[in-house]
Amino acid sequence: MSNWAGVTTLEIDTPALCLDADALEHNIERMAAFFQQRPAALRPHCKTHKCPTIAWMQLRAGAIGITCAKLGEAEVMAQAGIRDILIANQIVGPKIPRLIGLAAYSDVMVAVDDIANAQDLSAAACAAGATLRVLMEVDAGMDRCGVPPGEPSLALARQLVALPGLRFEGIMGYEGHAVMIPDPAERRAATEKAMGILVGVRDLLQDAGLPVGIVSAGGTGTYDVTGAYPGVTEVQAGSYATMDARYDTVGVGFERALTVVARVISAPREDMVVIDAGLKTMTTEFGLPTLVHPEGWALQSLSEEHGKLRREGGKPLRPGDVVTLVPSHGCTAINLHDAYVVTRDDRVIGEWPIAARGCVR
Ligand SMILES: Cc1ncc(COP(=O)(O)O)c(C=O)c1O
């Protein structure tokens, strides 16, 4: 790790993944304020930032716990002293002993949507003398993981409640098909429909006498609708802390904290220059990153180590000039980096390890 504290953004060695501390803090406070006066609570998803420092900032601001996508991410967060962790995914196969181990030093909770998997978890928990918290995942319309609503949900929940070594805490259902809908009214309608399905499952279970303490859902594009929906108890929004270009276009009102700072390394033509940031620095599954500085230039393409910029009326650029881009998808771009270069007022204040990057298992 380099020691850049105090240098200006223009002096940072590149390419670098930068985080604006003011914008990050603003985003964390803004989301926390939304939940302050509501029955629902915030359980931010750490799959975007992957950084225990930021997770602790969210917890200090009022979050009740955190969400992770992977067991490896949850282990990193637990090792950083965080206890209440939801792994919003199914854990199967050789990972199960690790999960039971994690339950010995955290209050980890895991998603289940299959009885055979739940029986495996139950057997492993019983063998270790442990109790594992589980949420039944319901397909609220996204068509990814989750048991279908209605009778299949009730049937699985009845079996989960009876399994030794497991504590049935409630249900979750991520409305990922709604979070990116650009039109706010359409997004609201799709979100309300999904939450209607999820809370409908809660009602079904409760009417059958099953305890449903937790109803967990929500992302950055839908937190305001999901977080206000009667019956939802917690929201898993994640991208809001750092933001990215994709969420900028949805207009969710959070500030841009995450950027990539790069440098021109070659200026072969007046209308085209090459920067030192390519696909090893940024990802493209949601489109090219957005060039935000300097004006009058646009990112044309990325290859492994290079990015090509096209001139669109801007001042000529020379090798050594610094440019700034916003990743299109924060989650996967952040996953490429060891640390954030954290800045305030354009000066570096430190480097924060992205300790849970690359935790694909
Ligand atoms: C299960 C689950 N919950 C919550 C989120 C957070 O979504 P966002 O990044 O839109 O805040 C995700 C994102 O993929 C997710 O998969």
Identify the domain boundary among 201, 217, 243: 243
Give the CATH number of the domain where residue 318 resides. Answer: 2.40.37.20
Collapsing DSSP to helix, strand or coil, 111 comes out as: strand
d(CA 36, CA 51) in angstroms, rounded, equals 24
Same domain, 25 and 167: yes
Distance of CA 45 from the midpoint of ligand 1 (Å): 6
**Residue of 117, 86, 88, 119 lying closest to 102 (CA atoms):** 86
* CB distance 246 to ligand 1 below 6 Å: no
Query: Which residues lie closer than 8 Å to 335 by C-beta, 6 or more apart?
Result: 50, 354, 357, 358
Q: Which residue has the tokens 């309300």?
A: 192
Same domain, 70 and 191: yes
For residue 327, say if its preceding peptide bond is cis, omega within 30 degrees of 0. Answer: no
Same domain, 32 and 150: yes
- The answer to the question of residue 62 being in a domain is yes
- The answer to the question of residue 359 being in a domain is no
In the chain, the number of structural domains is 2
pLDDT, residue 5, reads: 76
Q: Where are the beta strands (DSSP E) in the chain?
A: 16-20, 41-42, 66-68, 84-87, 107-112, 132-137, 166-172, 214-217, 234-235, 258-269, 272-275, 290-293, 297-302, 307-311, 322-326, 339-344, 347-353
d(CA 145, CA 139) in angstroms, rounded, equals 6
3-state helix/strand/coil string of 216-232:
EECCCCCHHHHCCCCCC
Distance of CA 32 from the midpoint of ligand 1 (Å): 17
- The answer to the question of residue 81 being in a domain is yes
Same domain, 29 and 13: no
pLDDT, residue 2, reads: 62
Same domain, 13 and 105: no
Same domain, 233 and 344: no
* CB distance 173 to ligand 1 below 6 Å: no
- The answer to the question of residue 4 being in a domain is no
Identify the domain boundary among 243, 275, 296: 243
Same domain, 188 and 260: no
**H helix count then E strand count, the chain:** 10, 17
Same domain, 173 and 31: yes
* CB distance 239 to ligand 1 below 6 Å: yes
Distance of CA 98 from the midpoint of ligand 1 (Å): 24
* CB distance 133 to ligand 1 below 6 Å: no
- The answer to the question of residue 3 being in a domain is no
* CB distance 109 to ligand 1 below 6 Å: no
- Containing domain of residue 31, as a range? 21-243
Collapsing DSSP to helix, strand or coil, 334 comes out as: helix
Give the CATH number of the domain where residue 58 resides. Answer: 3.20.20.10
d(CA 330, CA 204) in angstroms, rounded, equals 37
* CB distance 238 to ligand 1 below 6 Å: yes
Q: Of 30, 174, 225, which is best to mutate to test ligand 1, by the most ligand atoms within 8 angstroms of its C-beta?
A: 174
Same domain, 134 and 261: no
pLDDT, residue 3, reads: 65
Query: Which residues lie closer than 8 Å to 265 by C-beta, 6 or more apart?
Result: 274, 275, 276, 306, 319
Q: In this structure, are strands 272-275 and 84-87 parallel, antiparallel, or unpaired?
A: unpaired
Beta-carbon count within 10 A of 187 CB: 22
At position 292, the amino acid (one-letter code) is V
Same domain, 326 and 284: yes
* CB distance 89 to ligand 1 below 6 Å: no
Q: Which residues pair with 84 in a beta bridge?
A: 107
Identify the domain boundary among 243, 272, 300: 243
Q: Tens of pLDDT along the chain (361 residues)?
A: 466 778 998 999 999 999 999 999 999 999 999 999 999 999 999 999 999 999 999 999 999 999 999 999 999 999 999 999 999 999 999 999 999 999 999 999 999 999 999 999 999 999 999 999 999 999 999 999 999 999 999 999 999 999 999 999 999 999 999 999 999 999 999 999 999 999 999 999 999 999 999 999 999 999 999 999 999 999 999 999 999 999 999 989 999 999 999 999 999 999 999 999 999 999 999 999 999 999 999 999 999 999 999 999 999 999 999 999 999 999 999 999 999 999 999 999 999 999 999 999 9
* CB distance 219 to ligand 1 below 6 Å: yes
- The answer to the question of residue 322 being in a domain is yes
Query: Which residues lie closer than 8 Å to 172 by C-beta, 6 or more apart?
Result: 86, 88, 111, 135, 136, 137, 138, 214, 215, 216, 217, 236
* CB distance 165 to ligand 1 below 6 Å: no
Collapsing DSSP to helix, strand or coil, 4 comes out as: coil
Same domain, 230 and 330: no
Distance of CA 46 from the midpoint of ligand 1 (Å): 9
Same domain, 289 and 268: yes
User: What is the Cβ-side half-sphere exposure of residue 266, based on CA atoms within 13 angstroms?
Assistant: 8
